[in-house]
Amino acid sequence: MQERLSAETSAHAHAHAQNRFAVIPASERLGASEEYAGRGVTIAFLDSGFYPHPDLTEPRDRIVAFKDICGEVSSLDADAPVESWQWHGTQTAVVAAGNGRLSDGLYRGLAWEARLVLVKVSERGRITEENIARGIRWVIENRERYRIRVLNISLGGDEDIPCSRSIVDLAAEDAVRAGVVVVAAAGNGGDSSRHTPVPPANSPSVITVGGYDDRNQLGDRRYGLYHSNFGATADGFVKPELIAPATWVAAPILPGTALYRAAEQLSELAHAPDYRLRGLARNLDAWGGVPPALFGGDAGEIRLAIESLLMENKIVATHYQHVDGTSFAAPCVTSVVAQMLEANPALTPAAVRNILVATAARLNGAEAIRQGHGVLNASRAVELAERERHSLEAHEPPRVRDGRLIFFYHDDEAERVALASDFNDWNPSGAPFAREADGIWRAEVAPPPAGRYRYKFVVNEGRWLEDPLNGLKEPDEYGGFNSLLEID
């Protein structure tokens, strides 16, 4: 069916003044690069199930592999009965990499030309940690065959436990070591009380994504925080790393469902002239939801009822609705990662992570522990990815080597950098960094005695900040963090 709301939606979206139905397209919401679309990059999605949606398969099928870890289905079949557990994975994949086929390109993801590998880990909709771990292991085993560079995981295990005891975390860490960037949703339970992320989002090398609410407005930086999971994990790593849109995200309605049929009919009614409205309303199927008593009413009453149903069911266009949750914030970050890897295929997972946290910016007035390094900056991340030429060790946390404790920091605009810590009496100039030829700042100091220490970097003699390469940290007294260092 031809998209009936796309013309109006597009006009409003590009004018930055949405009507009551439309949501801002991803590229505009994130201020993303128009040059990159994930070309040459394969993204794996690990989720409850999938449907071969036209935004992924037309005009060219970009799904290069499908694997059902539980062995329930052997392939994706658009003609098979639609199951409820297919919607979540379908929506996460389309949010990141859909081409907007059913919206005339309006609601396309940032990685709309990426290849996809879809890994189903649910058994009749039920997800276990064993199957999550098996799914990650399958991705590792097949990463070279399908050239998988990114893995999106918008689900989680049971509880936050040390990574050494979690089969999911161990698998996620192995995936990163194998060269796969792993992006995970933080979870949605951190509103009234703190709920730390669960595997794999508590894993130290995974890029964990929380959420924010931009109120479906452009140019208004008064974002609100979404109720994402957050805090120090069982291993002491503070999560999430950054936040991305977790509300007002356009996603497809699953074809073949009652909501899909109703969205088609309600969208048609919303744009019908008054003289046709009563007749079209009588032809709605049972799901349409318009009370029969209104069929004899005037056009205004019918139209109000229809618009109420559109908003109640979050329908933004004939085949799309808006969704919320960190499950959809994570694919936003995944799509930016695909753009970064297209811009610079040599990037390692550590380099990708470093660039994302270095370019994020914290929301003023919001707790740092709930937002990590802050709001995803899509265009800046891609810009830095294009220029990244640093060695692997420049993206690693501090470590002792050859009897020296080594720190790294990257800031092209810095003029001076120093280390202030417990073991140098927080002297802001006691341990200066040296800038190396590739723009990386490096400091070497004598290791302190065994113990646990706090430290910060002092940039340009006035800006104190935590080490972006080190996930071990704790809140300071000023609304930020101290980085933590453990010397054995």
User: For residue range 104-126, what is the model confidence (pLDDT) as tens digits?
Assistant: 999 999 999 999 999 999 998 89
pTM: 0.90
User: For residue range 49-62, what is the model confidence (pLDDT) as tens digits?
Assistant: 999 999 999 999 99
Instruction: List Cα–Cα distances, 337 to 17, 30, 105, 135, in angstroms.
Output: 29, 13, 21, 21
pLDDT band for position 9 (cuts 50, 70, 90): very low
CATH level 2 (architecture), domain 6-251+322-387: 3-Layer(aba) Sandwich (3.40)
pLDDT at 413: 80
One-letter amino acid identity for 287?
Answer: W
User: For residue range 259-306, what is the model confidence (pLDDT) as tens digits?
Assistant: 888 888 788 878 888 888 777 776 665 555 555 655 666 788 778 877
Would you say the CATH fold of 392-463+481-487 matches that of 6-251+322-387?
no
Poorest-confidence range of 66-80, 286-300, 371-385?
A: 286-300
As a whole number, the mean pLDDT across the chain is: 89
Instruction: Tell me if residue 178 falls in helix, strand or coil.
Output: coil
pLDDT band for position 18 (cuts 50, 70, 90): very low
According to DSSP, the residues that pair with 445 across neighbouring strands are 405
Q: Is pLDDT at 3 greater than 60 in this prediction?
A: no
User: For residue range 137-175, what is the model confidence (pLDDT) as tens digits?
Assistant: 999 999 999 999 999 999 999 999 999 999 999 999 999
* Cα distance from N-terminal residue to C-terminal residue, the chain: 65
Q: Of residues 291 and 465, which shows the higher confidence score? A: 465
CB 481 within 8 A of CB 468: no
Q: Kindly give the pairing relationship between strand 207-213 and strand 181-185.
A: parallel
Q: Span 392-463+481-487: which CATH code?
A: 2.60.40.10
Q: Kindly give the pairing relationship between strand 481-487 and strand 451-459.
A: antiparallel
Tell me the mean pLDDT in the region 76-100.
Answer: 94
pLDDT at 37: 98
Instruction: List Cα–Cα distances, 293 to 174, 270, 272, 273, 404, in angstroms.
Output: 61, 18, 20, 20, 81
pLDDT at 412: 78
Percentage of the chain modeled with pLDDT above 70: 90
Q: Residue 70: which residues within 8 A CB-CB, separation 6 or more? A: 120, 121, 122, 123, 131
Give the start-to-end residue ranges of the domains of the chain: 6-251+322-387, 257-316, 392-463+481-487
User: For residue range 232-249, what is the model confidence (pLDDT) as tens digits?
Assistant: 999 999 999 999 999 999
Of the CA atoms within 13 Å of residue 482, those in its CB half-sphere come to 16
User: For residue range 449-463, what is the model confidence (pLDDT) as tens digits?
Assistant: 999 999 999 999 889
Instruction: Tell me if residue 327 falls in helix, strand or coil.
Output: helix
